[in-house]
Amino acid sequence: MRIPEALLVELLAAAGIYLEYDHPFWYATDARLGAPLAQGSDAGYVARAALAAVRARLDQVEAHAPGIERALGDARD
């Protein structure tokens, strides 16, 4: 599945990664600190791992959503 480039940039930024191309390499940079993380094919691995971590966290939140909704409902009562 291909996703639009702008969406990929937003997803990576949400994961804390900037992925940039400067001939001849790709570079992964920490979005918060501006610190270099990796270059070349390693930059792709870093980006993929960051997105996988965000996805895993979203899956955890989704799994706990019913309990969170109940707790919020109880707090409102």
Instruction: Find the DSSP H helices in the chain.
Output: 5-14, 41-76
- Residue-level pLDDT at 14: 87
Strand partners, 36: 29
pLDDT in tens, the chain (77 residues): 566 778 888 888 888 999 888 889 999 999 999 999 999 999 999 999 999 998 998 889 888 888 877 777 766 65
**pTM score:** 0.69
**Which residues, at least 6 apart from 65, have a Cβ–Cβ distance to it below 8 Å?**
none
